[in-house]
A and B are shown apart, each in its own frame.
Chain A
Amino acid sequence: MDFPILSVVIVLPVAGAAAVALVPRTRPQLVLPVAVAVSALPLGAAGWLLWQFESGVADFQFVEQHGLSGAWGVSYHIGVDGISLLLVALTALLFPISLLASTSITERVKAYAISMLLLEAGILGVFLSLDLIVFFVFWEVMLVPMYFIIGLWGGERRVYAALKFFLFTAFGSALLLAGILWLGVSNGTFDFMALLGKGIPRTAQFWLFGAFALSFGIKVPIFPFHTWLPDAHVEAPTAGSVILAGILLKLGAYGLIRFNLTLFPEASVDLVPVLAVLAVIGIVYGAVVAIAQSDIKRLVAYSSVSHLGFVVLGIFALTTQGLQGGVLQMVNHGLTTGALFLLVGMLYERRHTRQMAEFGGLAAVMPLYAGAFLFIALASIGLPGLNGFVGEFLVLLGSFLSLRWYAAVAVLGVVLAAVYLLWAYQRVFTGPLAVEENKGLADLGFREIALLAPIVLLVLFLGLYPKPALDRIEPSVGVILDRIEHATDYQVPEYGIEADLDAHVHVGAEP
């Protein structure tokens, strides 16, 4: 049997958590270095995975399957395809970075590091599992450490924010579990690959699509289920916000692609307008609300609602470009928003405020910091040459083919992103250095540069040469679209061919 690299990827953070637990109580200063060191191991494994992954292959790779239950149809089945590959790599990258950024955590460091590592294991498990029960287990397990990270080490209203986060997500999970149980019990298996072979009745598809989409939509979050997000992001500690925005939100979008599109193709095609409308509302609404924020962390939080709207629009454009762009945009958003939260956190550690009115003219005292902020902000806005451009361009291109008018409105989001981010930049970094306390602020230190450098490099790399990433996404996306074309009358529109979303209505006319 091949080396079980994927299991190793999932188990490494758990083993790391055990290692952290063994750090003697008398040496609390060792906890974070140990945690960073152990979290580098999954990163190494993910790097190896990236290296070994065969590009241009649509099937799941490095698959492991062990029957667990026999008659219950549950098996430990994991595998990776082009979509999950990039998200796994993103997860493995962001965790060491956020642990390294957690030096301001001084109380109960050990519990904090353990929570972070267990959270990492849960997230990796969600991306890799190919069995619905195993998926759900990882999905739920992840909630608990995240709850504690927000609730124990968060800001002033942490208890409220943590509870809200937990209950919103758990409500979605309840419907998800009901859907999974129905699916598994009626088909006799919970295995994702096996379920692909079973025909799910059309009516059932709609209900199941609804249950799954609601659960994933709360996580994404799709408007109007986004209200937990600003609270959770703002109250979470910096590292928590990085993980929440950078990775946790992607879990919802990933679920939509992996399960909704693949298992319920007919419902997906029919419900495109609903999801597209909500996505576009999210894009515009998130951006408008972001403009109105005075707290810079809240601003970044609302910008996530807008950016994730692009991801959802790309997914439900049901075109190769749209889906590809959606997946890439998930990675891009993880990098840029993660970096933005890191930057905001650094500022907060220096000044203990996030009100933009308290700042102004910081570029004079913190030139490096200002440069990094501008760079990331531009990437987030979608400046050509940086990663955000590639993703958003593909999403808009793809959705223009099938959802022309939605795409036209969504473009507004790009413009508004420039407004809120550049305006924020202007308010914080330009103008006179008016406030006395700001005059002595230190610029980025070595550790902080080390935190941002890998993200900056990746932003540049994906912006200039996205081909390696796109090559890996494309076959996996192609399989999903092929399935949809096969199961319905829907034709994936290509350049030069007019989209006809209504085509599937004439199913009965076929001989």
Chain B
Amino acid sequence: MMGDLSFVAVAPEVAITSAVVLLLMVEVSMHPRPWVWGLVAGAGAASATALAGWQWYWLSQAGNDAGTSFHGMIALDGFGALAGLVMFPLVGFGLMGSWRLAVKQGRRGAEFITLALLAAAGGHLMAASANLIMLFVSLEVFSISLYVLVGFTRDRVDADEAALKYFLLGAFASAVFLYGVALVFASTGSTSIYGAGGIAAYLRRMALFRPALLLVGIALLLVGLAFKVSAAPFHVWAPDVYQGAPSGITGFVAAAAKVAGFAALARVLIAGLGWQINDWAPAVAAIAAVSAVVGTLFAIVQEDVKRMLAYSSVAHAGFILSAFLVAMDADGVLNVGDATGAMWFYVATYAIQVMGAFTVVAVVAGDAEGRAPLDRFNGLGRRSPWLAAAMTFMLLAMAGIPVTAGFVGKVAVFSIAVEAGYLWLVIVALVVTVAGLFFYLRVIVRMYMEEPDGEPEVARAGLGAQAVLVLASAATLVLGVYPWPLLRVLRGDATLLVEALRRAVL
């Protein structure tokens, strides 16, 4: 049984915000040493992760159905719990990787940690929103935290520029999204994504009456969220923001935006607008193709590793979008389980790879710095063999070479698109993947086949960064060799993860 105000649905957020409040109060009143921040933040992230796991377990028990609470605002289902299981470890590892950066900020370090934690809470709420208004609010919580994080090193002009650019464009995208919410509300009479009286129910009932206003609304929602996941042509902020943000936190910013953005997109498009799939699928396919091509082409010409990774993330956004092209079976039922499973596998493993890659970048190019020119990687294989090895593995994973999780993810999402009949998109994506090898290999060439210019400095990772790299490499390898148990769980064989979505669609 679950009351409408069940705190089970927001348990992880309660843990995170408690940690945030505690951290701020302790900082203001006692000026503790940095390890206290680490303790509080670590406890917050760990308990939020555990609570998301508990949600998952709770839902798997007989009699505990997926549903919504807070008057249909927040969903409690496997999808949301899963988002927590990805997002909260992500913020934990993100803070581990950027620990030296946080400490360097002096007294402001606590704020830095606070903002990262708040971003994680907002990001998880985005994934768990069952109402477009709630989604908008969490989107803002998430985004504003990220804007500040990007500009946190105030003394650097390019960081300020990046933050301002992210903020202005982000605010614009939020406005577009909000306009979409208004139009969808105007044409369906609801802001609930699903559930009785929600958008999905309306679309099912009014199978023949689909106002054009609705289509415009859907398009605007799509644009707003495509901005968040940096899908082309709404990606122009990404390279500047990635490059300007302090390298230590760029990995978290990049990974969290993908996780939260795609989770929200899946909930809105598949759960809310699944009945309308024939209208939005071509648009999504077009965005996917454009992202894959544009991201790859621009990544090829970059001379800065962070910009390169930014454009590569645009390409990856395109690859992930191909999992949204859900096939419909003979009975008109969307094959949601496979699609969201593939999407989650790709998003989660990509988040791991991005964190790993940016952790190396932060160590090599300086964690408070913005720029990371390719030259800095010259001869890294000789200077810091382990860092170079980790970077190589992450890049190969992003390139989709087998024995890495990146390959499994690509096969998973492309299978979805093939099944739905979008073979052309898969061919485009695969050809582009090959072109993408070029820029991943370029970094590897620099690391192993070029000598460093001038004084070769040995880059050393801190303990936190080392831990992140070991874990990221291990996860990428294990999930590349034996992904089946995880894939089975994510696919959710008609279990709790899919149940909410499937029911919503039907």
Contacts and interface: CB of A to CB of B under 8 A. Distances in A.
B407 interface: yes
A376 to B, nearest CB: 33
Given A141-B403, A178-B426, A167 B434 contact: yes
Interface in B425-460: 426-427, 430-431, 433-434, 437-438, 441, 445, 448-449
Contacts of B434: 167, 170-171, 173-174
B401 A144 contact: yes
A5 interface: no
Given A141-B403, A174-B433, A177-B430, A133 B438 contact: no
B458 to A, nearest CB: 17
B437 A166 contact: yes
Interface stretch (B101-109, B117-125, B415-423): B415-423
A178 B402 contact: no
A171 B436 CA distance: 11
Contacts of B438: 163, 167
A361 B434 CA distance: 48
A72 B408 CA distance: 12
A141 B401 CA distance: 7
Given A140-B401, A170-B434, A185 B415 contact: yes
B390 to A, nearest CB: 15
Interface stretch (A45-53, A146-154, A350-358, A400-408): A146-154
A184 interface: yes
Contact of B414 (A68, A166, A181): A181
Given A159-B445, A181-B415, 8 more contacts: A71-B493, A137-B407, A151-B449, A175-B427, A175-B431, A177-B430, A185-B418, A186-B418
Interface stretch (B193-201, B248-256, B363-371, B484-492): B484-492
A137 B480 CA distance: 10
Contact of B449 (A72, A159, A173, A178): A159
A70 interface: yes
A136 interface: yes
B430 A175 contact: yes
Given A163-B441, A174-B431, A174-B433, A184 B415 contact: yes
Interface in B450-506: 484, 487-488, 491, 493
Nearest to B389: A111
Contact of A148 (B411, B430, B448, B491): B448
Interface residues of A, number: 34
A147 B449 CA distance: 12
A147 B441 CA distance: 10
Contacts of B488: 69-71
Contacts of B445: 151, 159, 163
A452 interface: no
A511 B437 CA distance: 52
B117 to A, nearest CB: 37
A72 B486 CA distance: 13
Closest 4 pairs (CB-CB, A-B): A174-B430, A137-B402, A170-B434, A140-B402
A143 interface: yes
A151 B392 CA distance: 14
Contacts of B437: 166-167, 170
A461 interface: no
Nearest to B412: A72
Contacts of B427: 174-175, 178
Interface of B: 396, 401-403, 407, 411, 414-415, 418-419, 423, 426-427, 430-431, 433-434, 437-438, 441, 445, 448-449, 484, 487-488, 491, 493
A182 interface: yes
Nearest to A144: B401
Nearest to A211: B427
A386 to B, nearest CB: 39
A185 B419 contact: yes
B338 to A, nearest CB: 9
Interface in A109-147: 133, 136-138, 140-141, 143-144, 147
Contact of B407 (A71, A140, A170): A140
A175 B414 CA distance: 13
28 contacts: A69-B484, A70-B484, A71-B488, A72-B487, A136-B402, A137-B403, A137-B407, A138-B402, A141-B402, A144-B396, A144-B401, A151-B445, A152-B449, A158-B449, A159-B445, A159-B449, A167-B438, A174-B430, A175-B430, A175-B431, A177-B414, A178-B414, A178-B423, A178-B427, A181-B414, A182-B423, A184-B415, A186-B418
Interface of A: 68-72, 133, 136-138, 140-141, 143-144, 147-148, 151-152, 158-159, 163, 166-167, 170-171, 173-175, 177-178, 181-182, 184-186
B449 A181 contact: no
Contacts of A177: 411, 414, 430
A171 B431 contact: yes
B284 to A, nearest CB: 19
Chain A interface mostly: helix
Contacts of A186: 418
Contacts of A69: 484, 487-488
B418 A181 contact: yes
Contacts of A151: 445, 448-449
B491 A71 contact: yes
Contacts of A141: 401-403
A69 B441 CA distance: 31
B374 to A, nearest CB: 14
Contacts of A152: 448-449
Nearest to A182: B418
A145 to B, nearest CB: 11
Contacts of A175: 427, 430-431
Nearest to B327: A185
Contact of A143 (B401, B411, B423): B401
Nearest to A147: B441
A133 B403 CA distance: 12
B379 to A, nearest CB: 13
A22 to B, nearest CB: 16
B285 to A, nearest CB: 15
A70 B485 CA distance: 10
Contacts of B431: 171, 174-175
Contacts of B419: 185
B411 A181 contact: yes
A71 B136 CA distance: 37
Contacts of B493: 71
Nearest to B493: A71
A227 to B, nearest CB: 16
A143 B488 CA distance: 29
A177 B445 CA distance: 26
Nearest to B437: A170
Contacts of A144: 396, 401
B430 A178 contact: yes
B416 to A, nearest CB: 9
